[in-house]
Chains A and B, each alone.
Chain A
Amino acid sequence: MSSVSAYVNEHEHEHDHKPRGLARWLFTTNHKDIGILYMLFGVTFFLVGGLFAELIRAQLIHPANHVLTPELYNQAITLHGLVMVFAALMPVTAGFANYVIPLMIGAPDMALPRLNNWGFWLLPPAAVVLVFPGILQLFGVGNGPIDTGWTIYAPLSVRSGLGVDFAIFAIVLLGASSLMASINIIVTIFNMRAPGVTMMKLPLFAWSWLITAFLLIAVFPALIAGGLMLLTDRHFGTHFFSAAGGGDPVLWEHLFWFFGHPEVYILLLPTAGLLSHILSAFARKPIFGYRAQVYAYWTIGVLSVIVWAHHMFTSGMPIAGQLYFMYSTMAISIPVTVLFICWLGTIWRGALSFETPMLFALGYIGLFGIGGLTGLTLADAVADQQYHNSYYLVAHFHYTLFGGPIMGVMAAAYFYLPKITGHMYSERAGRWHFWLCIIGFNLTFIPQFLAGIAGAERRVVDYPIQFAGFHMASSIGAFILGAAQLLLVYNIVVAWRGRTEPASARVWEGAQGLEFTLPSPPPYHTFAERPAVV
């Protein structure tokens, strides 16, 4: 401990030559600055994606409603999906990686700092490119942003308007960004660990991101390649996805889901890693089953690239394909269950306290449990004929996406907010945020399970009246859920403005790890000289 402060003092003399103002954020090579940029970007787009969700729910509140036209509705669901996945969740988890991993492993910074800056600054152009067709439309050019659903299925996407081209370019930019971030994280973990931090001592968050980065490198180029083919099919006369030239529209589905399925674990894994740290901190007890979790990440990573076609059970696959993808998908439930057992083992017989991060962490276990278990039912090739593209599926993936990663991000946000800003947030507002989330979320999505089973379909701007009750309940839930998120914004502002009680270095009584040995907030440059660790 003492050596840390000694080091920090010594470094004060050198003084951080960080530029001031806008230039600092534009040009920064500092992992903490970049981490903060990623997180702010993610939170902003979480609100934007949420705004689209609220528009969707406003349209669906009763049948024959006219908040959105069919064109706008399709654009809204597509942008909602793309924004939430690519511009909200992925940046936030990358932000935590940037901010925390170097601190956790005793590294001076990320291994490739300038590349790191570029990785972040590819995101805003991607966002601009994605919505640019909306601006063009105002000037009478084209018919607005992409409207094909986030899965961009050919040949709808081949025939649709210029929004698709811009979406493809946005995906290329996002892909480049993710690849840069992944390369950086892999190299940082391999090359920048302080002496003594062996791979099997690596904090679980770092492990989970390492596997995530491997996955990104293994699958994102496939989506980029698919995007290029879509572009040439649209404009340069190729026939990758058209039967007339010997191609196959279903090939796009294969390419998309070869990326898309691992993508859901790319979203999940980083927060699964964080969850273990948070549970352990508030149970005041070591993580249960460290090794088992590492092996589970590996297993999830490997399995996730060989199960993609469970999204395509209705596309007309041969029997062998149906059976293979059904059974291999079921296999993923096993490593995920291992994680669940480890999480439960971590809190079992601990001394639990329930600050906001812990509440969100426990909420994660419950909600993601429902999401995962319903996922298992989707894996059945026959029953999936019924679930596919119904609201049952929509509910499944919101229980996994919101119930898992988003809840995890919330937990981590409250966990690290005092560390990052140096000040506490409002615990009261945090608890309100949690309980409103739980109520709003379940009210939004439980009716969707039921409606889906009864036959309600997704991606429709209007629906038969037997589903009116479900949709009404769901919309009310969504408004509560949306309003709840304002409390997150409030808490970020509170901690940021720094009028509240300052946070100690350890912040939480049970917090473990190198990052909690540094002051809150940590100095601009940490560990320029390697710390050694036992």
Chain B
Amino acid sequence: MNSETGTETCADRVERFGYLARRLVRPLHRSLLNRRRLTLGSAAAAAAAISLPTLAEARNPFEFPTPVTPVAHDTLYVHDLFLAVMAVVFGIGMCVLLYSVIQHRKSRGYSPAAFSGPKTLGQWMVVVVPVLALAFIDYVVMGIPSYYAVVAMANTREDAALVVKATASQWKWRYEYPDQEIAFTSSLSTPRAQIESGSPTDPHYLYEVDNPLVLPAGKKVRILLVSLDVIHSWWVPAFGVKQDAVPGFLRETWVKIEKPGIYRGQCGELCGTGHAFMPIVVVAKAEPAFERWVAQTQNGEKAVALAEEQPLSRNDLLARGKTAYETNCAPCHQITGLGLPGAIPPLAAGQAFTATPELTDKLAQLGTYRDGKIVLVPVDRQLGIVLHGISGTPMPAFGLQLGDADIAAIVTYVRNSFGNHTGDVVQPAAVKSARVQAN
């Protein structure tokens, strides 16, 4: 038993499995649990020398981050067990090889034997025993703990105290707490300047977000995963959890975080050019603190919702629009607003754009494209594009992801930057009514 949490560990289950497993597996894992650090042996020591800053949460930079969920404990147990067994197997194999290389060499005048297969019983044993040993390793030493771990991992719903829905899209996460009516978007907060600098200084470079996911410690949380565009994957190493978000389907996983803290991870499936910039940060708070956070956020959201409806000054809109543009739009349309030739149209009116007719036809239909050039459409049309995206193209629907104020700010910014001088000011109220119209 894991004394801290009272959860059953993988090792406990092995104990239950029966005589054979007890006799054979227990001694092994005993020694493992006691002396985990041995597992990576000398390779680890060598690595320690070359590794630079350490993961705050990890025991060592070259080992698993300290596990904080039951699944992660299982994973680490299985991992350590495997590596130990594998090291032994490899060691034995290598010894045989090296002995032969050193002893049976022509330069020592060794004359070759002529056998081409096992003959005596003893020789047969030498051949068959390793095979049987490997089968035993596969299906008993590794197979049994793995079985229980798989079953435990798949049990996402039983006793879940909280449900969180994570919606992935290129390249951010949106978290919803349906029962608490909280929702927010979480995206990379490392400043672009830092990424472009060539020498990052930030200790959590690429591992930091504007709005982290907040979860209660010590409670089972069921996490649902959805994607709006391509496959992404929700991965936090300290939780031992990696689950894909498949567009159009629902996937789920669960965590039960043992101690409060900040845990970091990244999107685990190649999802386009922003794949490296889609981190996951989880702040686990002890029960009362979590409740307080929920209450605050609920109030805050109401306040924000109210504030969202307030008109903003032109300068505020432009400033807010610039930041929001750079996180949401610049990955495709670029900071310059010039897009990418052949794929992403510019947002600067009058810019030439060549691409396949499939793409340009769509743009022409929308009215943003004429005679090979980009045309600025009226405000409500552009609002529609940003809110609902352009189906069948990478242009996403931001209506689901951003609030009225952000969208208003972005559109204002776009219409007054990159050489667009419309002077238009779009207020949140206009976005609100645009949302309603389209529905």
Give A residues with C-beta under 8 Å from B.
62-66, 70-71, 74, 137, 140-143, 147-149, 153, 155-156, 159-162, 242-244, 248-250, 283-292, 314-316, 318-319, 322-323, 326-327, 330-331, 333-334, 337-338, 340-341, 344-345, 347-354, 362, 365-366, 369-370, 373-374, 376-377, 380-383, 385-386, 388-389, 446-447, 449-451, 453-455, 457, 459-466, 468-470, 472-473
Is B112 an interface residue, CB under 8 A from the partner?
yes
A447 contacts B47, C-beta separation under 8 Å: yes
Could you say which interface size class chain B belongs to? 35 or more
Which residue of B105, B243, B266 contacts A353 across the interface (Cβ within 8 Å)?
A: B105
- Give, as a whole number of angstroms, the nearest-CB distance from A378 to chain B: 10
Give B residues with C-beta under 8 Å from A.
40, 43-44, 47, 50-55, 58, 61-65, 71, 74-75, 78-79, 82-83, 86, 89-90, 93-94, 96-97, 100-101, 104-107, 110-118, 127, 130-131, 134-135, 138-139, 142-143, 146-147, 149-151, 153-154, 194-200, 202-207, 229-231, 233, 235, 237, 240-244, 246-249, 251-252, 264-266, 268-277, 340-343, 354, 356, 394
A316 contacts B269, C-beta separation under 8 Å: no
Which residue of A63, A140, A382, A472 contacts B150 across the interface (Cβ within 8 Å)?
A: A382
Which residue of A286, A344, A354 contacts B116 across the interface (Cβ within 8 Å)?
A: A286
Q: For A388, what are the chain B residues with a Cβ–Cβ distance below 8 Å?
A: 242, 268
Decide: A373 near B89, CB < 8 A? Known: A341-B127, A383-B75, A469-B51.
yes
B247 contacts A159, C-beta separation under 8 Å: no
Chain A residue with Cβ nearest B236? A455
B248 contacts A243, C-beta separation under 8 Å: yes
Q: For A331, what are the chain B residues with a Cβ–Cβ distance below 8 Å?
A: 138
- How far does the alpha carbon of A463 sit from the alpha carbon of B195 in the complex, in Å? 10
- How far does the alpha carbon of A137 sit from the alpha carbon of B154 in the complex, in Å? 46
B131 contacts A334, C-beta separation under 8 Å: yes
Decide: A366 near B270, CB < 8 A? Known: A243-B249, A382-B75.
no
A-B contact pairs, 18 of them (CB 8 A): A64-B195, A149-B270, A153-B270, A285-B113, A291-B117, A316-B243, A316-B251, A323-B147, A330-B142, A341-B131, A352-B104, A352-B105, A365-B97, A369-B94, A377-B79, A385-B242, A386-B242, A462-B206
- Max count, chain B CB within 10 A of own CB: residue among A333, A347, A382: A382
Decide: A454 near B142, CB < 8 A? Known: A64-B199, A287-B116, A314-B233.
no
- How far does the alpha carbon of A447 sit from the alpha carbon of B127 in the complex, in Å? 34
A326 contacts B146, C-beta separation under 8 Å: yes
Which 9 residue pairs spanning A and B have beta carbons closest together? A243-B248, A460-B276, A455-B237, A382-B149, A70-B273, A450-B62, A286-B116, A469-B51, A330-B138
- Max count, chain B CB within 10 A of own CB: residue among A338, A373, A473: A373
- Give, as a whole number of angstroms, the nearest-CB distance from A369 to chain B: 6
Decide: A250 near B112, CB < 8 A? Known: A140-B354, A385-B240.
no
Decide: A466 near B154, CB < 8 A? Known: A353-B105, A386-B240.
no
B268 contacts A314, C-beta separation under 8 Å: yes
- How far does the alpha carbon of A74 sit from the alpha carbon of B171 in the complex, in Å? 15
Beyond A155-B229, A353-B106, 4 extra complex contacts between A and B, CB < 8 Å? A242-B248, A382-B146, A462-B276, A464-B264
Chain A residue with Cβ nearest B110? A351
A284 contacts B106, C-beta separation under 8 Å: yes
- How far does the alpha carbon of A148 sit from the alpha carbon of B127 in the complex, in Å? 45
Q: For A316, what are the chain B residues with a Cβ–Cβ distance below 8 Å?
A: 243-244, 246, 249, 251-252
- How far does the alpha carbon of A33 sit from the alpha carbon of B46 in the complex, in Å? 48
- How far does the alpha carbon of A254 sit from the alpha carbon of B114 in the complex, in Å? 47
- Give, as a whole number of angstroms, the nearest-CB distance from B76 to chain A: 8
B134 contacts A337, C-beta separation under 8 Å: yes
Which residue of A141, A148, A340, A349 contacts B342 across the interface (Cβ within 8 Å)?
A: A141
Which residue of B44, B97, B204, B205 contacts A450 across the interface (Cβ within 8 Å)?
A: B44
B231 contacts A64, C-beta separation under 8 Å: no
Q: For B40, what are the chain A residues with a Cβ–Cβ distance below 8 Å?
A: 450
Q: For A369, what are the chain B residues with a Cβ–Cβ distance below 8 Å?
A: 90, 93-94
- How far does the alpha carbon of A287 sit from the alpha carbon of B115 in the complex, in Å? 8
Q: For B86, what are the chain A residues with a Cβ–Cβ distance below 8 Å?
A: 373-374, 376-377
Chain A residue with Cβ nearest B116? A286
Q: For A323, what are the chain B residues with a Cβ–Cβ distance below 8 Å?
A: 147, 150
B266 contacts A457, C-beta separation under 8 Å: yes
Decide: A285 near B198, CB < 8 A? Known: A319-B150, A466-B53.
no
Chain A interface SS verdict (over half):
helix
- Give, as a whole number of angstroms, the nearest-CB distance from A331 to chain B: 7
B61 contacts A466, C-beta separation under 8 Å: yes
- How far does the alpha carbon of A315 sit from the alpha carbon of B244 in the complex, in Å? 5
Q: For A465, what are the chain B residues with a Cβ–Cβ distance below 8 Å?
A: 52-53, 200, 202-203, 205
Decide: A330 near B233, CB < 8 A? Known: A382-B78, A468-B52.
no
Decide: A352 near B62, CB < 8 A? Known: A385-B242, A455-B265.
no
Q: For A140, what are the chain B residues with a Cβ–Cβ distance below 8 Å?
A: 341-342, 354
Q: For B270, what are the chain A residues with a Cβ–Cβ distance below 8 Å?
A: 74, 148-149, 153, 156, 389, 459
B78 contacts A284, C-beta separation under 8 Å: no
Q: For B202, what are the chain A residues with a Cβ–Cβ distance below 8 Å?
A: 465
- Max count, chain B CB within 10 A of own CB: residue among A66, A459, A469: A469
- Give, as a whole number of angstroms, the nearest-CB distance from B358 to chain A: 8
Which residue of A389, A446, A454 contacts B233 across the interface (Cβ within 8 Å)?
A: A389
- Max count, chain B CB within 10 A of own CB: residue among A137, A327, A351, A383: A383
- Give, as a whole number of angstroms, the nearest-CB distance from A325 to chain B: 11
Decide: A453 near B64, CB < 8 A? Known: A465-B52, A465-B200.
yes
- Max count, chain A CB within 10 A of own CB: residue among B106, B206, B233, B264: B106
Q: For B135, what are the chain A residues with a Cβ–Cβ distance below 8 Å?
A: 334
A322 contacts B154, C-beta separation under 8 Å: yes
Decide: A385 near B62, CB < 8 A? Known: A283-B112, A465-B203.
no
Chain B residue with Cβ nearest A243? B248
- Give, as a whole number of angstroms, the nearest-CB distance from A143 to chain B: 4
A377 contacts B82, C-beta separation under 8 Å: yes
A450 contacts B47, C-beta separation under 8 Å: yes
B231 contacts A153, C-beta separation under 8 Å: yes
B354 contacts A286, C-beta separation under 8 Å: no
B134 contacts A333, C-beta separation under 8 Å: yes
Which residue of B64, B150, B244 contacts A454 across the interface (Cβ within 8 Å)?
A: B64
- Give, as a whole number of angstroms, the nearest-CB distance from B222 to chain A: 14
Q: For B75, what are the chain A residues with a Cβ–Cβ distance below 8 Å?
A: 382-383, 385-386
A382 contacts B71, C-beta separation under 8 Å: yes
- How far does the alpha carbon of A353 sit from the alpha carbon of B105 in the complex, in Å? 6
- How far does the alpha carbon of A91 sit from the alpha carbon of B28 in the complex, in Å? 45
- How far does the alpha carbon of A296 sit from the alpha carbon of B235 in the complex, in Å? 38
- Give, as a whole number of angstroms, the nearest-CB distance from B197 to chain A: 6
- Give, as a whole number of angstroms, the nearest-CB distance from A351 to chain B: 4
Q: For A326, what are the chain B residues with a Cβ–Cβ distance below 8 Å?
A: 146, 150
- Give, as a whole number of angstroms, the nearest-CB distance from B167 to chain A: 15
Chain A residue with Cβ nearest B99? A348
Chain B residue with Cβ nearest A336? B134
Which residue of A142, A351, A457, A468 contacts B268 across the interface (Cβ within 8 Å)?
A: A457
A63 contacts B205, C-beta separation under 8 Å: yes
Q: For B268, what are the chain A residues with a Cβ–Cβ distance below 8 Å?
A: 314, 388-389, 457
- How far does the alpha carbon of A193 sit from the alpha carbon of B243 in the complex, in Å? 52
Chain B residue with Cβ nearest A340? B93
- How far does the alpha carbon of A389 sit from the alpha carbon of B275 in the complex, in Å? 12
A284 contacts B112, C-beta separation under 8 Å: yes
B242 contacts A289, C-beta separation under 8 Å: no
B55 contacts A455, C-beta separation under 8 Å: yes
Which residue of B101, B115, B131, B266 contacts A337 across the interface (Cβ within 8 Å)?
A: B131
- Give, as a whole number of angstroms, the nearest-CB distance from A282 to chain B: 9
Decide: A453 near B342, CB < 8 A? Known: A381-B150, A462-B206.
no
Q: For A284, what are the chain B residues with a Cβ–Cβ distance below 8 Å?
A: 106, 112
Which residue of B61, B198, B248 contacts A244 across the interface (Cβ within 8 Å)?
A: B248
B78 contacts A362, C-beta separation under 8 Å: no
- Give, as a whole number of angstroms, the nearest-CB distance from B40 to chain A: 8
- How far does the alpha carbon of A386 sit from the alpha carbon of B139 in the complex, in Å? 21
- Give, as a whole number of angstroms, the nearest-CB distance from B207 to chain A: 5
Q: For B106, what are the chain A residues with a Cβ–Cβ distance below 8 Å?
A: 284, 351-353
